Amino acid sequence: MQLAGSPGTGKSALASALGRALGAVVLDRDVVNSALLDADVGWGGARAPAHEVMCALAASLLEQGLNVVLDSPSDYAASPQRGLAVARDRGADYRFIECVCEDLEEVGRRLAGRMVRRSQWTGIDVQSPDGITGAELVGPRRWRTYGPEGGWLILDTGGRLEMSLAPTLGYLAAP
């Protein structure tokens, strides 16, 4: 399972809930990316390797018979293809969900209320290395999520977590 979407849309909250509900291991790209930054890998060099580390960990966990949830924005075209390949090569089902929240005030509340990791430069008053502010980053049509060929579930995660968990579990149960 791969959860994607822009910052503040509820990916991590949904990933944690899925991990608990399914007994799955949750791999969060922000954790891996922050660790790479702490190891003095620069901003420009940390994001793509963070995804590769997550995929290597996912492969190992799948080989151990564990379910895996990737919590990653999928902001690289190769992200879903890599996730799909890891699952396919290990005989696992692959599902992709894009979390969206059109309520920018809610996104702002979520961003303001979360524990910020070093890799999360999307705070409203913080600029990314690209010069994009957090408000611009989460605004309509600013973020690009790359999904797998053949489509994926786009889930409105603007409400309570329970309202997102039920359709997600249904999507995962579908053939």
Q: What is the pTM of this model?
A: 0.81
Q: Cα(78)–Cα(4) distance, rounded to whole angstroms? A: 13
Q: Are strands 2-4 and 96-100 parallel, antiparallel or unpaired?
A: parallel
- The contacts of residue 112 (CB under 8 Å, 6+ apart) are 123, 124
Per-residue pLDDT tens, the chain, 175 aa: give them. Answer: 999 988 888 899 999 999 999 999 999 988 888 888 888 776 667 777 888 899 999 999 999 999 999 999 888 888 999 999 999 999 999 999 999 988 888 887 877 776 666 555 543 333 444 444 444 444 444 568 899 998 899 999 988 888 899 999 999 998 8
Domains defined for the chain, CATH in brackets = 2-173 (3.40.50.300)
